[in-house]
Amino acid sequence: MKAQLQIYMSPKNNQLFPGFKFVKSSGGIEEYTLQKNDLTVLVLEDHSAPVATLMVTYHVGSRNEAIGYTGSTHLLEHLMFKGSRNFNKEKGTAIWTELQNIGAQINATTWNDRTNYFEVVPSEHLERAIAIEADRMRFAFLRDEDRQPEMTVVRNEYERGENSPFDVLDKNIWATAYLAHPYHHSTIGWRSDIENISTERLQEFYHTYYWPNNATATIIGDFNKAEALALIKNYFGEHNASKNNIPEMYTEEPEQEGPRRTVVKRAGQTGVVGVGHKTQEGLHEDTYAFQLLGKVLSEGKTSRFYKTIVDRGLATSLLMYDFPLKDNGMFITYIFLTPDTDHQTVEDIVLEEYKKIINGGVTKEEIARAKAQTRASVAFSRDGSYAVASALNEAIAIGDWTFYTTFMDHIEKVSTIDIQRVAKKYLVEEKSTTGWFVPKTKKMG
C-alpha cells in the first residue's frame, strides 16, 4: 500500500507516446495529456480478464445548473445516446446497437460534479467504444425531435424516484440544507424544468462543457497501452480544445447559522428519519476521518448505530453516506423505522451517539476495525476493470484522480483524535438538517 502514496513524475521505463505528454503516475495508473486538445487520459493495463473498460468523464454535473435548467445535465446525458455524426440509426450504427451487439455493458450516469459515459467491452472491441465516445464528444445530434420523447422518459425516471419515500426525503433534506449552492437540487432536477427546458438550452449546455479539455478518458483492463493511446489520438485527436474557457461555478453556500428541519407527509407504511450535517469539500484532509467515522457508526453489526437502533428492533435498516464532493458535502444518516417506532426516539439516539463521539471519541479497537474494513474495500475496488474505472470516476469528479490511489495511505494516518476533532467541528446542531418521512394513515391496496 505504501507504494501507492508515491506519485511518479516520469513514465515507467521512460516510454514515450507520440502526441501525448506524460503527466504523472500513481498506483500503476498513468496520466497523459493529448497535446492536440488537452484531453486528459488515464491508463492501467490489467490482463486478468479479456475485458476492457473505457470511461469518459466530463467535468460537468448538476452543480453547473441553475433555476430554470435543473436536470439539464442529466437530460443531455440521455440525448447523447440519440445519435452522432457517425453513429446513428439512419446509418444503421445506433450507439446502443453497436455496443450491445458485441455484449458490451454500456451506460452513463450524471451526478453533482460529473457526467460519465462508459463501455465495458470484450477487449478486441475497445476501438469501437473509443470511436463512439470521440464522435459524440463534439458531434452529437441533440435534435428537438429526439428531446420530446426523451423528456417523457426522463420524467418517468423522476416519477419512479418520487415513488420512493427515501428518494423524496433525501431530495428535501438537500434542498433544505443548501439555499444558494446548486447542491440544493438533485441531479434529476425539478419536474417543471425537465418538462420545459428547450433543446436550444441543452445544445448551449453541450457546446459549453463537452470539450476534450473538460474531459478525462480512462482505459482500464486488457489492452496494449501503445495501441490504445494510438487509438485515442486517432479518434479524439480530431477535436480542438474549446476556444472559450470552461465556466467556473462560483456560488458559495453561506454559513449555516442554525438547525433546519423538513417533514414530508405522504401515503406510506413506515417512517424514515434522516439526520444530515454539512461537511468539508472532498479533497479536504478531514474527509478521511469522516470516512472512518461513518464505518464506526454504521458498518457491520459491531457498529454503534446497529447496536443502538437496529439491534433493538427500532429500525429495519440504516444507511449512512458522506460521498466526497467537489464542494462541501453532507454526512447523512437515514434510519428506516419499524412500524411501531416513533421518529423522535430514533432521532434522539442518533444525536446522542454523535454527542458521545464529540465528548469521548472512538476507541482504538473501533478505528482499527474501520481501517481494516477500508483496506478490504480498497482492495476490492481493484477487482475488475469497471470497478477501477468507477472508483477513479468519483475521484476525477472531485478534482484529483490520485484521491483514489492515495486514499488508503491517508486513511492509515487518521487517529482517534482526528475523528473526535471532525465530530466536534461538523456534527453540531448549527450545521444540521433533519428530515422525517411521515406516512399518512391511508389504507394501502
Partner 1 sequence: MFQKQKRWAEMGIFKKQVIINAEQEGLKTLVMPTGVKDVITFAGSFLGGSLFSPETNRKIAPITAAMMDKGTLSKDKYTISDILESVGAELNFSSTRHHVQFAGHCLKDNIETVIQLLAEQLRTPSFPDEELTTLKTRMVGNLERLKEDTKQQAMISFLRSLYPQNHPNHRLTVDETINHVKSVKKHELKRFHEKYYGLGNLIFAAAGDVDPIQINETLGNQLNGWGEKKTSLNFKGLKARLNKENETKIEIPEKTSMDMYLGQAVGIDRDHPDYYPLMMAIYILGGNFSARLMQTVRDQQGLTYGIGSSLAGVSFGSDGYWSTWGTFAPDLLDVGKNATMEQILNWYNTGVTQEELKAKKTTITGSYKVSMDSTGGLTAQILSNAEKGRSVEYLDQHPDTIRRLTLDQVNSAIKNYIDPNKLTFVAAGTFTDE
What DSSP string describes 157-215? Answer: HHHHHHT-HHHHHHHHHHHHH-SSSGGGS-TT--HHHHHH--HHHHHHHHHHH-SGGGE
Report 319-338 residues binding partner 1 (CB under 8 A): 336-338
Residue 336's identity, in one-letter code, is: F
- 145's grid cell: 425531435
Q: How far is the CB of 343 from partner 1 (least distance, A)?
A: 14
DSSP character at residue 135 = H
Report 202-221 residues binding partner 1 (CB under 8 A): 221
Report 282-321 residues binding partner 1 (CB under 8 A): 299-302, 310-313, 315-317
Report 144-203 residues binding partner 1 (CB under 8 A): 148-160, 162-163, 165
Among 284, 375, 410, 425, interactor with partner 1 by CB under 8 A: 375
Distance CA 229, CA 217 (A): 10
Phi, psi of 382 (to 5 degrees): -105, 10
Q: How far is the CB of 149 from partner 1 (least distance, A)?
A: 3
What DSSP string describes 247-270? Answer: PPP---PPPP-S-EEEEEEEE-SS
- 285's grid cell: 484532509
Task: Give 213 or 338: the residue with its C-beta nearer to partner 1.
Answer: 338
Which positions from 70 to 99 touch partner 1 by CB under 8 A, shown as an x/- string?
Answer: ------------------------x-xx--
Distance CA 360, CA 357 (A): 5
Q: How far is the CB of 100 from partner 1 (least distance, A)?
A: 4
How many of the other CB atoms lie within 10 Å of CB of 78?
18
Taking the CA atoms of 243, 244, 245 and 248 in sequence, report the sign of the dihedral they define: negative
Task: Give 6 or 100: the residue with its C-beta nearer to partner 1.
Answer: 100
- 396's grid cell: 476525477
Report 228-287 residues binding partner 1 (CB under 8 A): 266-270
Residue 68 as a binder of partner 1 (CB under 8 A): the answer is no
Burial class of residue 417, CB neighbours in 10 A (0-12, 13-18, 19+): exposed
Q: How far is the CB of 47 from partner 1 (least distance, A)?
A: 6
Which positions from 398 to 417 touch partner 1 by CB under 8 A, shown as an x/- string?
Answer: --------------------
User: Which residues touch 397 (CB under 8 Å, ≥6 apart)?
Assistant: 57, 59, 61, 111, 112, 113, 114, 325, 326
Q: How far is the CB of 306 from partner 1 (least distance, A)?
A: 9
Q: At what angle do helices 416-426 and 286-298 cross, to 10 degrees?
A: 90
Count the residues of the shown chain that bind partner 1, applying the rule CB under 8 A.
87
Residue 379 as a binder of partner 1 (CB under 8 A): the answer is yes
Residue 386 as a binder of partner 1 (CB under 8 A): the answer is yes
Q: How far is the CB of 24 from partner 1 (least distance, A)?
A: 22
Which positions from 3 to 42 touch partner 1 by CB under 8 A, shown as an x/- string?
Answer: ----------------------------------------
Residue with cell 516520469: 10
Residue 380 as a binder of partner 1 (CB under 8 A): the answer is yes
Among 208, 213, 234, 373, interactor with partner 1 by CB under 8 A: 373
What is the SS3 assignment for 288? helix
Report 38-67 residues binding partner 1 (CB under 8 A): 46-51, 53
Do the Cβ atoms of 78 and 154 come closer than 8 Å?
yes
Q: How far is the CB of 424 from partner 1 (least distance, A)?
A: 26
Among 6, 10, 105, 415, interactor with partner 1 by CB under 8 A: 105
Task: Give 240 or 302: the residue with its C-beta nearer to partner 1.
Answer: 302
Q: How far is the CB of 82 from partner 1 (least distance, A)?
A: 8
DSSP character at residue 42 = E
Helix H or strand E encompassing 376 = helix 364-380
Q: How far is the CB of 315 from partner 1 (least distance, A)?
A: 8
